Amino acid sequence: MSYAISITETGAPEVLQRIERELPAPAKGQVRVRNHVTAVNFIDTIIRRGEMPAGMMPALPHVPGVEGAGVIEALGEGVEGLSVGDRVAWMGPIGAAGYGTHSVIEAPYVTPISDDTSFEAAAALPVNSMTAWHMLVNLGRAKAGDTVLVHAAAGGVGTMIQHIAKYLDLTIIASVSTDKQDYARAQGADYVVDYKTENLVERVKEITNGRGVDISLNPISGESLKADMEMLAPLGTVVLFGFLAGPPVGTFGEDMAQHFQKSIAVRVSDIYTYFNAQPEAFNNDMKTVYELAGKGVLQPTITALPLSQAAEAHHRLEAGETAGKLVLTID
């Protein structure tokens, strides 16, 4: 038997309840992982509240959790390059059941971790670090000397963006609230802008001597896309990876036309598009990310709670009370 924390009905965090489950068996091409740590993501809270887009809401009861770390207990037929007893990290789809003692994951989304990488750090990395790497390297085509603007730089993804950007020798402009400025500097930001008290467009233009940034990574959207296009340098790219302030608003076509001669690009990043469309490339990038973690390049800021306090973790995430990543430890 195994156990998990399940969403039994939609509502407040208190709907998260412990359930007993049959031990899942891996099918062909899958591995069963005994989870030691799982991570908490906004997608977990959105599902719990019942606010997923039409057609995407999983059936209840539902065990949340799309990333974790632990030890391989069993291999399905045809799995190569992994062994029972391996310490691993994994990323999975909705339904991967990370808030439980066991998860069954497709082998391409499981990667070994070094003995000196803690399960807490390993579980905190997949979604955030892969999102950051994919946007900077694959979509933004970042190269040494580029300047990147990081919105929400004190969040989990923002933290990983800064670590990877520093490794790639980029200049980092971090946009954060007043109380997160010191945190952003500690993560590697070269310049910090308080979006609550400063004009972000003017400060970016000042910092870059009027040129603008090569890449802007934006989980905010709403009215911020228009400002991002204004802040881009010629041939610059803005990547939208969230809508914390809602979908883009304004006259997008007119705004693009205004910056036509800069040849800018606006891209959208959902890490699961990459996850599903190119599993081999995704696996290679995931290995790279964990190699960087093993070298100390990626050092997530972690707040750990026991799995039994999953409801408290949801409260903290929704209240914005943590910097970095929330994880749940599993006995």
Domain holding 323: CATH number?
3.90.180.10
In a domain, 282, yes or no: no
Q: Is there a domain that residue 109 lies in?
A: yes
| Residues 169 and 97 placed together within one structural domain of the fold | no
Same domain? For 146 and 262 the reply is yes
pLDDT value, residue 242: 84
Asked, for residue 182, whether it belongs to a domain, the answer is yes
Q: Are residues 121 and 144 in the same domain?
A: no
Same domain, 140 and 100: no
Residue 305 belongs to a domain: yes
Say yes or no: 140 and 264 in one domain.
Answer: yes
Assigned domain for 289 exists: no
- What tokens does 32 get? 């069963």
* One domain for residues 231 and 316: no
CATH code of residue 229: 3.40.50.720
Separation between Cα atoms, residue 281 and residue 293, nearest integer Å: 19
Q: What are phi and psi of 309, to 5 degrees?
A: -105, 30
Q: What pLDDT is attached to residue 98?
A: 98
Task: Please report the pLDDT score of residue 31 as a whole number.
Answer: 98
The pLDDT of residue 245 is above 70: no
Q: Are residues 120 and 150 in the same domain?
A: no
Instruction: Examine residue 285 and state whether it is found in any structural domain, yes or no.
Output: no
Q: Is 97 left (phi over 0), alpha (psi -120 to 50) or beta?
A: left
Judgement on whether residues 108 and 17 belong to the same structural domain of the protein? yes
Domain count, the chain: 2
Q: Are residues 157 and 42 in the same domain?
A: no
Q: Is the pLDDT of residue 311 over 80?
A: yes
Q: Are residues 167 and 265 in the same domain?
A: yes
Q: How far apart are CA 149 and CA 204, in angstroms?
A: 8
Query: At 32, which helix (H) or strand (E)?
Result: strand 30-39
The domain of 246 spans 134-270
The per-residue pLDDT for range 252-293, each reduced to its tens digit, is 778 777 888 999 999 999 999 999 999 999 999 999 999 999
225 and 253 together in one domain: yes
Amino acid, res. 257: A
Q: What average pLDDT does the structure give for the chain?
A: 94
Higher pLDDT, residue 45 or 156 = 45
